[in-house]
């Protein structure tokens, strides 16, 4: 008996006191899983699409810049490519650092800074670190990740985000019939009316890819604008006729990507929340990078590349939105054609032209085509957690086009906002491809 007791004690001492350090491999799945956690918190915390693009991009850059430190990857740092971005600190003892681990650590650190429900990220990190702390490189990796995170966070603070909070909100001018006004059911203020004042990474200005002007507003029956309004009206009516299972409605809902859809029942109200357009593409990258068999560094690179494209696209489209300040189809139709009409999707709270999702899809599909090639079949399961089906695509551009059309089917955009938006986004994407070399 005694001996057994002794043996057990010894056993415990060996395991707890002198636990052997392990060599822990940090895989792309660890990155994906951190991304999923960040996404989940972003949905919970309710970030509007432009702000969400900001929350994604800084952690992704932090993670990427760390893998760049592994010279065998042959990747280029963004410092020197993004004018205002200075190189991250070097690791003192690079050999002691697990760069993949530090990369995910920095991703979580920077993410934590940008979201609100920090406890959720802390809890997640604790569970991951519990496993990683067994690694002999854990402490050095964490030190390094902290240093890099600090550097990135400092840099993020200079992007005008804080300043744009107190800038003027969108002013309703009731005398201009073409001017955007808040839409049912929430009549929320126009969101992010100063997003064009955000610092860009590569675009020379928010207006660099200013699209052509929207069709001049007119409610004359033979005007081009009226025809475009009627196209939305008729398309939605047709889709309704065909029912919920019709392809048009399925496409509309699949690409809805509205982070805050509210339901009103009398005095009762509640929101259902989903990922944003940018998040949809970023999560597609999770699927495709896995399918392509990317290693950790390739994964980190693809996310950084894509999130920069998405971030730039939002600045570009928001610039146009609050330049043209165009009224939404729902308002025009309710005012002049059919006061009972509602779109299939809830009209998002900002001006119509150009379509945010189209611009972002244009930019994202170009960047992803650059990463994976034009002919890349994938099954998009991104929206499954939100109760939507799987859709498959033969290429990113095909997906981008479908996302663009979803805005017409959803009844929230006229066609020029979609077409010109997609073009605008493609230009942004191509410019990003041309001007940064990851």
Partner 1 sequence: MLSCQDKNTTAEKTNSKQNIPENPVFELLSSQQTGIDFVNTIQNKEDFNIFRYRNFYNGGGVGIGDINNDGLEDIYFTANQGQNKLYLNKGNFQFEDITKKAKVAGSKAWSTGVAFVDINQDGLLDIYVCNAGNQKGDDQKNELFINQGDLTFKEEAQQYGLDESGFTTHAAFFDYDNDGDLDVYILNNSFIPVSSLSFNNKRELRAKDWNLPEDVKGGGDKLLENRDGKFVDVSEKAGIYGSLIGFGLGVTVGDVNHDGYKDLYISNDFYERDYLYVNQGNGTFKEDIMNRSEHTSLSSMGADMADINNDGHYEIFSTDMLPEGDARLKTTTNFENYDLQQLKISRGFYNQFMQNALQFNDGTGHFKEIALFSGVAKTDWSWGALLFDMNNDSYKDLYVSNGIKQDLTNQDFIDFFADEVYQKMAISGKKTAQDSIINIMPSHPISNYAFINQGDLTFKNKTYDLGFDIKSFSNGAAYADLDQDGDLDLVVNNIDSEAFVFQNNSEDKNYLNLNLKFKTPNVFGIGTLVNAFVDNQIISNEVMPTRGFQSSVTYQLHFGLGDKQNIDSLHVIWPNAKFQTLKNIKANQNLNVSYDSLKTSDYNYSKPQSNSKLFDIVKPEIKSHKEDFYVDFDHEGLIFKMQSREGPTISLGDINGDGRDDVFMGGAKGQAAQLFNLKGENISSENQRLFNEMSKYEDTASVFADIDNDGDLDLILGAGGNFKDETKQLYNIRILKNNGQGIFELFQSLPNPYNTSVIQAYDFDQDGDEDLFIGNFSVPGTYGIDPKSKLLENDGNGEFTDITEQKAYDFKDLGMVKDAIWHDFNNDGIDDLVVVGEWMHPMFFKNNGRRLEQFDTNLNPYKGLFNAVMALDLNKDGQKELVFGNYGQNFKLQPSLNQPAKLFINDFDDNGTIEQIITRSINGKDKPYQLKRELANQIPNIKKDNMSYKKFAEQSIADLFGKDKVNQAITKELTELASFVAFKTSANEYNIKYLPQEAQWSSIHALNSIEIDDDAFILAAGNFYHFKPQFARLDASHGHLIGFKQDNFYLKKDTNFKINGEVRSLKTTTDKNNNHFILVGRNNDKPLIFRYEE
The residue range among 78-86, 244-252, 267-275, 390-398 that interacts with partner 1, by the rule CB under 8 A, is 267-275
268 binds partner 1 (CB under 8 A): yes
Q: Per the structure block, which two tokens stand in for 64?
A: 């990427």
Per CB under 8 A, which of residues 178..207 are in contact with partner 1?
181-182, 184-185, 187-189
The secondary structure of 177-214 as a DSSP string is TTB----TTT-PPPS-TTGGGSPPSSSSSTTTTPPPPP
User: Please, what's the b/e burial string for 145-174 (b: 16 or more CB within 10 A of its CB; e: otherwise)?
Assistant: bebbbbbbbebbeebebeebeeeeebeeee
386 binds partner 1 (CB under 8 A): yes
Q: Is 24:98 a contact under the CB 8 Å cutoff?
A: yes
170 binds partner 1 (CB under 8 A): yes
119 binds partner 1 (CB under 8 A): yes
Give the nearer residue to partner 1 in terms of CB position, either 74 or 174.
Answer: 174
DSSP 8-state secondary structure symbol assigned to residue 152? H
Min dist CB 358 to partner 1, Å, is: 26
DSSP 8-state secondary structure symbol assigned to residue 438? -
Among candidates 179, 158, 146, 196, which has minimal Cα distance to 314?
196
Mask 399-438, x = binds partner 1 (CB under 8 A)? ----------------------------------------
Q: Per the structure block, which two tokens stand in for 20?
A: 């052997």
Q: Is the dihedral of CA 38, 155, 282, 141 positive or negative?
A: negative
340 binds partner 1 (CB under 8 A): yes
Among 134, 199, 240, 273, binds partner 1 (CB under 8 A): 273
Provide the CA 117 distance to its chain's centre, in angstroms: 18
342 binds partner 1 (CB under 8 A): yes
Among 2, 16, 130, 175, binds partner 1 (CB under 8 A): 175
The residue range among 30-38, 220-228, 245-253, 339-347 that interacts with partner 1, by the rule CB under 8 A, is 339-347
Per CB under 8 A, which of residues 45..74 are in contact with partner 1?
45-46
Distance CA 345, CA 334 (A): 15
In the complex, which residues of this chain contact partner 1 (CB under 8 A)? 44-46, 116-119, 162-163, 165-166, 168-175, 181-182, 184-185, 187-189, 262-273, 334, 339-340, 342, 385-387
């Amino acid at each position: 008996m005694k001996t057994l007791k002794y043996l057990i004690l010894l056993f415990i001492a060996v395991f707890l006191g002198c636990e052997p350090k392990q060599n822990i491999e940090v895989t792309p799945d660890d990155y994906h899983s951190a991304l999923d956690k960040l996404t989940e918190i972003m949905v919970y915390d309710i970030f509007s699409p432009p702000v969400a693009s900001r929350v994604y991009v800084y952690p992704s850059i932090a993670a990427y810049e760390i893998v760049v430190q592994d010279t065998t990857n042959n990747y280029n740092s963004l410092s020197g490519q993004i004018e205002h971005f200075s190189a991250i600190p070097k690791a003192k003892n690079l050999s002691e650092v697990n760069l993949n681990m530090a990369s995910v650590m920095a991703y979580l650190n920077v993410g934590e800074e940008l979201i609100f429900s920090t406890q959720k990220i802390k809890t997640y990190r604790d569970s991951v670190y519990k496993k990683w702390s067994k690694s002999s490189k854990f402490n050095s990796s964490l030190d390094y990740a902290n240093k890099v995170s600090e550097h990135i966070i400092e840099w993020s603070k200079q992007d005008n985000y804080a300043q744009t909070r107190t800038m003027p909100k969108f002013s309703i001018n009731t005398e201009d019939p073409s001017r955007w006004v808040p839409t049912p059911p929430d009549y929320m203020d126009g969101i992010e009316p100063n997003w064009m004042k955000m610092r860009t990474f590569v675009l020379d200005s928010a207006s660099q890819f200013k699209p052509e002007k929207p069709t001049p507003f007119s409610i004359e029956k033979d005007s081009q604008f009226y025809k475009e309004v009627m196209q939305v009206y008729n398309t939605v009516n047709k889709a309704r006729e065909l029912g919920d299972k019709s392809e048009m409605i399925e496409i509309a809902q699949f690409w809805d990507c509205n982070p805050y859809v509210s339901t009103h029942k009398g005095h009762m109200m509640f929101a259902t929340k989903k990922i944003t357009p940018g998040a949809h593409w970023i999560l597609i990258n999770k699927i495709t990078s896995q399918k392509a068999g990317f290693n950790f560094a390739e994964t980190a690179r693809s996310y950084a590349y894509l999130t920069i494209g998405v971030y730039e696209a939002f600045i570009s489209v928001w610039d146009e939105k609050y330049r043209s300040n165009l009224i939404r189809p729902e308002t025009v139709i309710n005012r002049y054609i059919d006061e009972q009409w509602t779109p299939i999707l809830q009209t998002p709270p900002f001006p119509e032209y150009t379509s945010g999702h189209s611009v972002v899809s244009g930019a994202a599909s170009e960047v992803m085509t650059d990463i994976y090639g034009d002919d890349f079949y994938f099954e998009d399961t991104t929206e499954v957690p939100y109760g939507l089906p799987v859709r498959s695509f033969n290429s990113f551009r095909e997906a981008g086009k479908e996302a663009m059309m979803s805005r017409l089917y959803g009844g929230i955009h006229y066609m020029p906002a979609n077409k010109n938006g997609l073009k605008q986004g493609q230009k942004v994407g191509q410019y990003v491809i041309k001007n940064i070399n990851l």
